[in-house]
Each structure stands twice: as structure tokens, then as C-alpha cells.
Amino acid sequence: MTPDLECTGLSRRFGDVKAVDDVTFSVAPGSFFSILGPSGCGKTTIMRMIAGFLEPSGGDIRIKGRSMLGVAPNKRPVNMVFQHLALFPMMDVAGNIGYGLRRAGLARADIARKVDEALDRIGLPGIGARKIDELSGGQKQRVAIARCMVLEPDVLLLDEPLGALDLKLREHMKIELKALQSAFDTTFVYITHDQSEALVMSDQIAVMNRGVFEQVGSARDLYYRPETAFVAGFVGDSNRWRGRVERMEGGALEIRTENGMLLRGAAHGRALGPGDVADIYVRPEAIRLAQNEGELARFENRISGRVTSLLFNGAASRILVAGPGGGEEIEVTLPQSGEFARTGKGDTVHVGWSGDQSNCFPAGK
Amino acid sequence: MQGGTRLGFVLLLTPLLLWLGLLIVIPHIDMFLVSIKERVGVGEYDTSLANYGTFFAETLYLWTFLRTAVMSILATAITLLIAFPVSYYIAKIAKGRLQSALFLLCLVPFWVSELVRTFGWMILLRETGVFSSLLQWAGLADQPVEMLYNDAAIMVGLVYTSMLFMVVPLVTTLESLDNAVIEAGYDLGGNGFSVLREIVIPHAMPGIVSGCIVVFMLSLGNYLTPTMLGGKDSLWFTELIYAQFIVRFNWELGAAFGFMLLILSSVIVWATLRLTGQTLRDTLG
């Protein structure tokens, strides 16, 4: 099956800066593909090249097998939902949704029918005569999507469209966007710096940093099996230590951190050997917290220490635990099952995690 | 506290009221009173509309009146046509320093007085002027060419003097148009023309209308440019007013003419607002 969108060796330079450096990926029809990265990583540049607002310095963009090089933005079978939506304030809702259809030269009656259908699809029937500034944030969002979807594009590009919404609405729109995507059965390419948006909605996620894709995979792949230190640090939260590899047996490593703590970890196939400097990433939620040491017998890493602070944040509460003799502080997710409801600063706790959960990477510069 | 705010409010309002009262309301009331006086003998006056009757009875007056209105409308349209691309370039295409530099270039001519600027055009256009000499030097003309003292010269002068007053509101409104909205217009299948017609112009409408109103009023009330570039017989309505007040010392008729000009500009501005569906509040705010 031809992918809906295929980029090969895509590059873009601004002067001496390589904003996008030889990026290759393809997006299967009907899937939700996200590009996740910090601001300035080049994700917007990729999106603007796909939409046609920027010419690539090298490489090719194919949509349904057809090269888009040299095709003007208004001739491409892609539409874009802009960061601040860019609805036309001078037109009413029906005018906005019908704009593309008018440009395509449809008959007035057909346009009216299609606009009504689109409004039904997004669950806002009968608001065609409203002005844009009379809509709520979530309604604007849906109108912006409907404005693109009436044109039945092969690929819909979304440039951080949830950025301007408040937290509650954003959570709600994540689910709604995913539902709209399956309702319209269109390929979505979504760019964001918010990992939770990408993780919740996407079939495939590309993590981007400094113009290159660090890893492409499903949300689970990125979370459980990060391939690079950047992905491990960027997706989800991590405890991060640096140390020197002391012993190696198969994939299992023994690493002594700069502060003298001995940790067991796994290389997961990465090139690490005794004497190498390694970065160790452990997720706070992968660490088991216990009242007595006996419960932790099955874990390779066991530390007893004192709680140095409690970071209460509802379901995402954490505690910081310092091992004996100072050493590193370990961030541990606080289970909300009630056992640790009374745990406070200064209490002694025991933490443990399996060596498999310590992701080790050769240390970057 | 209440009294304090009230005093502050009154103090702040006073200059405005003085300005409105002394410079606008009182002179206009007086003008109106003068305009409805009819001289029946030496130092003897009757109240009548005879001056307005004279205005409508004399075709030259009426003709000049209409000609001034049409020329001003034309000057406004030409100014808009030239200023729009210029403003679009400054607001949307030029970036950073180039943008400020171009905007400054539009402003620079206004550092010298209108009189000097108009003399500049005379130097260029007159028989012994720069253009005439150039044409002769290039062999395109075998004798001096007079380019002053015609309607085209008046038009050039009017457009030139009003340019800034069109560019400023246009740049301001165009700058407030989000680039993403223009890109969305293209992204959804629009071409340059349809984006301009459906997105850029509707957005810029308040700026266009306010620029047009200012330019139209400046042209209609302009005295210097038509007189200097159009000559003594340029038939501009302000010249007739000047002639009645200063040359013929007929203040009564001059006042009536002044009132007709006020009515004319009000009617045309009102009609423009109605036609474009703009309100004065949108346009000014």
C-alpha cells in the first residue's frame, strides 16, 4: 500500500543552520502520526515544507506517491490547522468552512449542503451564521478542523492546535481529536512539544531533536524502550545519573555513579563496556516503594534512605529519597493506594527497581 | 475622593471643550449667521437664504463645486490604488530594518512644509523644469513642454500630499492581520487574487475607509496645491471661498460657500460609510 505521506532525505537549511537534516519517514493511510520535539527542533519547518510554504533544500515529499516538489500550497492535497487556528474573522462560520469549496468552484447549493454536513460531523449543527469571535475555544478548534476536512485532503497537518487551550479543555480535545480522526478516516500529521498529546493520540510518534528524528515508534516503544538518551529524557520523567561501568555480564551492567552509588542496569543492546561512562535513566514510576526491605528482595537495585521532600501533586505526587551517606536523590512516584498517605519528610523508606528498568546509554558530551 | 476625581475629570475635559467650542462650534455658528445675511444697503442686512440662492443660480459656482468633489474622489481613489501595494509591502513583506526604513521614507517628505513640497513639483513640471529639459535633451521634444497648470498636475500634487495619510492607517490595519490567516487562505485553495479579495481587503476595510475619509477631506479642503499646480483658473472650490472673503470682501457669500463645502464633505463621508457598511466607530477605533 502506498503511504499517504512519504518524506525521503528531507533537508532544509537556513543560512548555515540545518533546521531539518536528512529526515526520512512515511505515514500509513488513515493513521495518526505525531512529530514530538522541543521548540526549535525543526518540526514546524517540516510541517511548512509539507504544506508548501517552504521549499526543501534537499529530499522529496510524496503524497499518495506523487512528488510535491514545486507544487504551490493551494494545489496540494494537504490542509493545515494552524497553531492559532487562523480562522477568517471577517467571515461567519459557514463562510469559513465553505471558503475552500468556493475556491474549488462548487455550486452554491452543494457548498451549503457540505457545510451543513461538516457542522453535523463536528457536533455543532446550526451555528453556520455565527461569527468567529462568538465561539468558544473548543468550538473554534472544531470549526478549524471542519474547514479543512470539507476539502477531503489526503493528509491533514495540525500545528500544535491545542496550545492555546486551557488544561481541562486540552484534555477533552485530545480525546475529541482522536475521535474526529477516526470519524473522518484521514491521515493526521500532528506536531507538538507536549508529550502527553502525542502519547495519547498517536499511532506513531517521531521524536525530533536538532533537525533529526531520534526515534520513530509507537507510544509504548518510546516510553518503555527509548533508543537514545534524548528520547529517554524527553518522553516521560526520569531520574538521571552518570557513572562508570564497572562490570558487565551479558546485557547487565554494574555502574558506579559519580557520588559512589552502585547501580545495576541494562544496556539493551547498546555499545557499552567496562570503563565507559554511561548515563542511567530510571523512571520514577518504575521504582517500587516499600515499608520494609523484605518486599524488595526480587529487585536488583535496593536502597534504603530518608525522604528529603514530598512533592504533592495529586495522582502524580513524588517523593525524593536520599540514600545513606548522601549520594544521589532518587525521585519516586508515591503510590496513591493509601499505604504511604502518612509518609512525610525525614521518614525512612526502602526503594527498589529491577536492573531492566535502568536504561543505560553511552554518555553524551 | 469622589470630589477629587470629578475635579480631575473636569480639568481634563476643559481643554477639549475649549477647543471644540472656541475653534469649531462658535466659528461655525457665526459663519452660519453670516451666511444667512443679505446685504440690502450700506450697513443694512436682512435675514434670508439669498446667498445660497446665488450659489445654486450661478452655474460656475455649481460646476466648480461638483468638479472639486469629483476630482477629490478621483484623487482619493488613485491614492488608495498606489498606497495599498506600498502598505502591503511595508506591513507584510518587508522585514525588520527594511520595514522601518520604508515607513520612514514615506514620512520624510512631510518634514518640509506643504508649500516647499509643492514648489518641488513646480520645479519638476514647469516649462523650464527638469522633465521638460530631460525630454528636450533626449530628443523627445523639440521645444519646452509645459506640464503645469492642468488637471493632471493638480492630481499629482493631491495624491502626493495625501499619500502618508493613506499609508499610515493601511499599514496599521494590515500589520494586525495574522500571517497565518493569509497562509490559511492559500492552504485552503485560494490564489493571490481571491486571498486579496476575501481576506486581505475585508480585514483592511476600516483602514481603507479611514484613510479615504482623511484623504478626501484633505483634498476637498486643499487650497495650496490646486492653486499652485493648477494655476489661477484651476476652479477649485476653496479658491472661490478665498475670492469671496479676500478679493470681493463678500463675507456673506463666502460663508454660504463654506457651509456648502461642509455639507458636501459630510454627505460624501456618510455615503461612503453606508456604502462600505462601516461605522464611524470601527473606522476611528
Q: How many Å apart are CA A232 and CA A286, to the nearest integer?
A: 13
Distances (CA, A) of A101 to A105, A236, B7, B179: 6, 42, 60, 22
Q: Does residue B41 register a pLDDT over 80?
A: no
Q: How many Å apart are CA A84 and CA A96, to the nearest integer?
A: 15
Mutate to test the interface with B, among A88, A97, A189 (most CBs of B within 10 A): A88
Buried b or exposed e, range A282-304, using 16+ CB within 10 angstroms: bbbebbbbbeeeeebeebbbbbb
| A353–B contact, CB cutoff 8 A | no
Model confidence pLDDT, tens digit, residues A60-71: 999 998 999 989
Mean pLDDT of chain B: 88
- What is the band of B207 on the pLDDT scale with cuts at 50, 70, 90? very high
Q: Are A23 and A216 contacting, i.e. CB atoms less than 8 angstroms apart? A: no
Counting one residue from A and one from B, how many pairs have CB atoms under 8 Å apart? 62
* CA B217-B220-B223 angle, 5° bins: 120
Mean pLDDT for the stretch of residues B149-170: 91
Nearest chain A residue (CA) to B192: A74
pLDDT at res. A189: 93
The minimal CB distance from A103 to the residues B178, B180, B188 is found for B188
Model confidence pLDDT, tens digit, residues A80-128: 999 888 999 989 999 999 999 999 988 999 999 999 998 988 888 888 8
Q: Does residue B285 register a pLDDT over 70?
A: no
pLDDT at res. B283: 66
pLDDT at res. B48: 83
Q: Does residue A259 register a pLDDT over 90?
A: no
pLDDT at res. A359: 87
- CB-based contacts of A148, cutoff 8 Å, min separation 6: A79, A80, A81, A100, A156, B188
Mutate to test the interface with B, among A48, A82, A159 (most CBs of B within 10 A): A82
Q: Does residue A166 register a pLDDT over 90?
A: no
A73/B199 Cβ within 8 A:
no
Q: Does residue B154 register a pLDDT over 60?
A: yes
Nearest chain A residue (CA) to B206: A90
Q: How many Å apart are CA A251 and CA A265, to the nearest integer?
A: 8
The minimal CB distance from B187 to the residues A51, A90, A91 is found for A51
- CB-based contacts of A284, cutoff 8 Å, min separation 6: A237, A238, A239, A318, A331, A332, A333
Strand partners, A305: A349
CB atoms within 10 A of CB A183: 12
Q: Does residue B43 register a pLDDT over 90?
A: no
Q: Does residue A148 register a pLDDT over 70?
A: yes
Distances (CA, A) of B160 to A209, A343, B237: 53, 79, 20
Q: Does residue A24 register a pLDDT over 90?
A: yes
Q: Does residue B284 register a pLDDT over 70?
A: no
Task: Tell me the chain A residues in contact with residue B181 when contact means C-beta distances shorter than 8 Å.
Answer: 86-89
pLDDT at res. A325: 65
What is the share, in percent, of chain A residues with pLDDT greater than 90?
A: 30
Q: Does residue B223 register a pLDDT over 60?
A: yes
Model confidence pLDDT, tens digit, residues A305-350: 888 888 888 888 888 888 776 667 888 888 888 788 888 888 888 8
Model confidence pLDDT, tens digit, residues A278-288: 888 899 888 88
pLDDT at res. B71: 94
**All three cell numbers of B79:** 491614492
Mean pLDDT for the stretch of residues B195-213: 91
Q: How many Å apart are CA A243 and CA B161, to the nearest integer?
A: 75
Q: Does residue B279 register a pLDDT over 80?
A: no
The minimal CB distance from A99 to the residues B178, B180, B188 is found for B188
- Residue B210's closest CA among B23, B111, B76, B104? B76
- CB-based contacts of B182, cutoff 8 Å, min separation 6: B92, B195, B199, B200
The minimal CB distance from B187 to the residues A73, A91, A104 is found for A73
A88/B199 Cβ within 8 A:
yes
What single DSSP character describes residue A85? B
Q: Residue B83 corresponds to which amino acid?
A: A
Task: Tell me the chain A residues in contact with residue B200 when contact means C-beta distances shorter than 8 Å.
Answer: none
Model confidence pLDDT, tens digit, residues A353-363: 888 888 888 88
Helix runs in chain A, H state only: 43-51, 93-103, 108-121, 137-149, 167-184, 195-201, 219-224, 229-234
Provide the residue count of chain A. Answer: 365
Mutate to test the interface with B, among A53, A71, A103 (most CBs of B within 10 A): A103
Query: Chain centroid to CA A195: how far?
Result: 3
List domains and CATH numbers for chain A: 5-232 (3.40.50.300), 237-362 (2.40.50.140)
Task: Tell me the chain A residues in contact with residue B277 when contact means C-beta distances shorter than 8 Å.
Answer: none
B187/A74 Cβ within 8 A:
yes
Does the ipTM surpass 0.85?
Answer: no
**All three cell numbers of B196:** 486579496
Model confidence pLDDT, tens digit, residues B179-198: 999 999 999 988 889 999 99
Mean pLDDT of chain A: 88
A80/B181 Cβ within 8 A:
no
Per the listing, cell 461567519 goes with A92
List domains and CATH numbers for chain B: 52-111+148-284 (1.10.3720.10)
Longest dimension (CA), chain A: 79
Contacts 24+ apart (CB under 8 A), B232-241: B234/B149, B234/B151, B234/B154, B235/B63, B235/B64, B235/B67, B235/B68, B236/B64, B236/B68, B236/B71, B236/B154, B237/B64, B237/B65, B237/B67, B237/B68, B237/B261, B238/B68, B240/B61, B240/B64
Q: Does residue B46 register a pLDDT over 90?
A: no
